[in-house]
Chain A
Amino acid sequence: MVNQTVTLQGHIIDSLILAKVLDTILMVGGTFTLTEFTVGTKREDLSHATIRIEASTPGLLQEILTAIQPHGAVVEVEQDCTVMPAPADGILPEEFYATSHLATQIRWEGNWIDVPQPEMDLAIRVKTSPLSANMVPMASVIKGDLVVTGRKGIRVFPLERPAERDVFGFMEALVSSERPYRHVIADVAKRMQAIKERRTHNPIAPKVLLAGGPAIVHAGGREALAWIIQEGYIHVLFCGNALAAHDMEANLYGTSLGYNLGAGRSVPHGHEHHLRTINRIRAIGSIHKAVEQGIITEGIMAACVDQQVHMVLAGTIRDDGPLPDVITDSTKAQEAMRAAIPGVELALLVASTLHAVATGNLLPASAPTVCVDINPAVPTKLSDRGSFQAVGLVMDSSSFLGELARELGWKG
């Protein structure tokens, strides 16, 4: 099949011109999709239709175009994209094109080229020798870089429904705490098993990402998550200072933010435990070294080190310490997170508003994403900020991780 998009405008409804054009396409032997249609609101306003025509052969397509052009159908002319040099380091040209997280192509000297790794809210930089295009954050642009401007010569592809007929296939942003969630967790587990299976053949390709907050430890999800990681189901971990600190605090002191995780009550001077933990790790030099030296023996961090999970710890303004592994420059942290995104085929955003939104911003729309939070505002916020592909689950992180682990075979 070959296709061509045409546009038609004017007083095309009451004059039956649109009907005539569509009838003509069918009569000559093609099919059509009315991809866009704007109807004028006042009598004198023009209406606009964008029609995608499909035909079995180029000859037939040409015949259709010849038949409909006299009725005002205009073949959409493909144009190259326009570029302008960045005026200074970290400054984009005024008319820069802002990206979406959908698959994108630009047209350069008559050819459409892919812009890899789609991510929302970036710009597109073109390099001419050899020809390539990539998405670039504002801060990373260098004076003189050619940056795509305007909207000509840019194609964005809508998200296709995945072949798998699971919860992600429907792309519903579930945000209610009153909807059943077991099937969602079962679907997530199936995807994780499939990715793990594929990694045995191709260890670098597909990855599962988890971005999590310290509530995982406070609420009792630590054991389940450590098991999931230890079993090789998680390959990238995004978190902050707190998740790591409280996980290791639990290992060293049996507490999380001073509360005894077993007994569920505060321990004398327990609030100091996470500070002493952080101080200890700072003295050792890194989480990796602490695990290798046998200081940290079990838990989320130990499992990550053991399974060589790619960890990115991004700091915030309220961090204690922080741990030596925490990246305190937020631009550098964003770069490190971005570098870990390629290959992510499933993202679990669990109990962390800031890390969930930050990760959502970095993910392509094609990456199935689950956002789990006890607060329905978090999945809503994620969806409002453009990560429309994310499935929201309003539930406690420890329940989620426990059920997920059991789906995967945990006996805990």
Chain B
Amino acid sequence: MTDEDRERRHWLAVLARATADEIGQRLADAPPLPPHRALRGPEIGLVMVRGRAGGDGAPFNLGEATVTRCTVAIEGGAVGHAVRIGRDRRAAELSALLDAALQDAALRPALHAAVIAPLAEAQAARRAAEAERAAATRVEFLTMVQMR
């Protein structure tokens, strides 16, 4: 995997977790996005989520998840894809459009600074806050045993 692939994987992951409103707010301060043309979707469908017991057992079908996917092309030919859990068509379209625009080396730095970096920061903060809340209720079984 090249550095570019890693970077793209990062922004796709950030966009897949952001809501349409969050992306829309960040886009308000970003440079305008190029005009685009829808190639497919946004459309809603199902994917089968597979799991492995304990992470290394035989794969089994865990259940179906609703996903929304979208593919757009922008001027210059770059194609952006988005697949996300849920039924948010607008978020899928914005994500696909951003994916296409972020592949353009000229647009990337500005868009990254205006959209991806703040979203990633907010998501990390949210994760940390949740982890803190959970950690406050942690029970140390070893301590309990010794207290008896």
Q: Is B a genuine binding partner of A?
A: no
Binding site for B on A (CB under 8 A): none
* Interface residues in chain B, defined as those with a beta carbon under 8 Å from any beta carbon in chain A: none
